[in-house]
Structure 1
Amino acid sequence: MTQVLDLVGIFVFALSGALVGVRRRLDVVGMAVLASVTALGGGILRDLILNVRPAAFFSVGYVVVPLAATVIVFFWHPHVQRVMPVVNVFDAAGLGLFCAVGTEKALVAGLSPLHSVLLGVTTAVGGGVLRDMLSGQIPVLLYDRQFYAVPAMLGSAVMAVLYVLDLHGWTATLAAAVLAFGLRIAAVRFRLRAPLARGVTAPD
């Protein structure tokens, strides 16, 4: 079940990466690269840090899913863009799942709670950062005006706290994922933004 949810999250993240490629007027190769990096980048970074073989290099599904998302966006990107509110819901779910699972994997591997939280956030937003760097945008992690990294950080923190309290398993993962998901949806719904430095105004 976890792998199925993982692939769903990868698919949604890949859609967002491919759409960035469309907006940047990239060809199909560029779209596929951005889709794959967005979907798999965070998990690959996490696994490399944990010194384990990334799933993307031995599971066919992790390669096929981003490519399928690229094909969908390539032919039907206007339709995908119109259903983005729905895609954003799944994107928030992927964010919650990735930050919780990433944190749990780090804790199981023996990292401290603090470092596990950092790795959970890396899992959730690392692909997006790589996507933004490749497409010439300010990475969302450095300019969290979409309130994206903060929900991942809080979800990862809850996962670490529950683990320290000896609350493991899918219920703990679900609780942390739901928290991050809820915060992300609330941010979209109520236009929540991370604060800027005092006296600094947001650009247009």
Structure 2
Amino acid sequence: MQHLLADVLDLGGTFVFAISGATTAARRKMDIFGILVLAFAAGNVGGITRDVLIGAVPPAAVSNWSYLGISVLAGLTVFFRYPQIAKLNHPVQFFDAIGLAFFAVSGTEKALGFGLDPLMAALLGMLTGIGGGMLRDVLANEIPVVLRSDLYALAALACAAIVAIGHVLHLHPLAPAVAGVTACLALRFMAIRHGWHLPTADLRNATGDKPRKREDQDGAP
């Protein structure tokens, strides 16, 4: 059950993260090749990093055609349906939050399955969640959302920690997975809605400038 759950969430996370990557590329007016590249990067880099670190080589994203197929499907969906997707309220953040939650769970579950202790498994789950989004933003010439967004890595870590605690308590994997996904989505959406964020350095006394407003990932040019 644990392996099946991790695989399902891994593929689901790949799709929604690929959608976020493709949407970012379309918003940046990239061509279809750029859309497909960002779709694959966003959907698979976190999982590839996780697999390499735990010794699951070759990584699932390059040994299982399903990951490439799902990424291409997501990219083509955005290419042909971008006007409809763009009508969503903050589409990149919406799909990114879902992918973050799914990957945090699947990354933690897979790390636990490979014998990592719960603490390291949770950290690896967080890394799985944030990895794809980081490369997506770098390729789109944006500051990675994990470095500037409201409770991003913290939401992924909370999700992964719930899964790891469930493992320690020998709970059925489904219950902590659902709780972790719910917690991650709640934290992300509430942080976006209310502007919750971690403390930042106050540079006013050093530079004489007013603090710059936090950028909106979906509203960037």
Q: When the two structures are superposed, what TM-score results if normalisation uses the length of structure 1?
A: 0.87
Distance (Å, rounded) in 2 between the aligned partners of 1:51 and 1:4: 20
Q: 1:63-109 deviations in whole A, cap 9, x for unaligned?
A: 11111121122222121111255775554333222102211221232
Distance (Å, rounded) in 2 between the aligned partners of 1:85 and 1:75: 19
Q: C-alpha root-mean-square deviation of aligned residues, in Å?
A: 2.3
The runs of 5 or more residues in structure 1 that have no matched partner are: none
Q: 1:50 aligned to 49, 54, 69, which one?
A: 54
Q: Answer whether contact 1:40 1:127 (CA < 8 A) is retained.
A: yes
Q: Answer whether contact 2:38 2:136 (CA < 8 A) is retained.
A: yes
Q: Which moved more, 1:52-61 or 1:94-103?
A: 52-61
- How many residues matched? 203
How far 1:25 sits from its partner (Å)? 2.5
How far 1:188 sits from its partner (Å)? 2.5
Match runs of 1:32-111 below 5 Å: 32-52=36-56, 53-84=58-89, 88-111=93-116
Inter-CA distance 88–131: structure 2 relative to 1 (3 Å threshold) = closer
The runs of 5 or more residues in structure 2 that have no matched partner are: 205-210, 215-221
- Bigger radius of gyration: 2
Secondary structure class of the residue paired with 1:73: helix
State the percentage of identical aligned residues. Answer: 40
2:31 corresponding residue in structure 1: 27
How far 1:37 sits from its partner (Å)? 0.5
Distance (Å, rounded) in 2 between the aligned partners of 1:108 and 1:79: 39
1:163 corresponding residue in structure 2: 167
Distance (Å, rounded) in 2 between the aligned partners of 1:148 and 1:48: 23
Confirm whether residue 123 of structure 1 aligns to residue 128 of structure 2: yes
Runs of 4+ in structure 1 over 6 Å off: none
Distance (Å, rounded) in 2 between the aligned partners of 1:127 and 1:179: 20
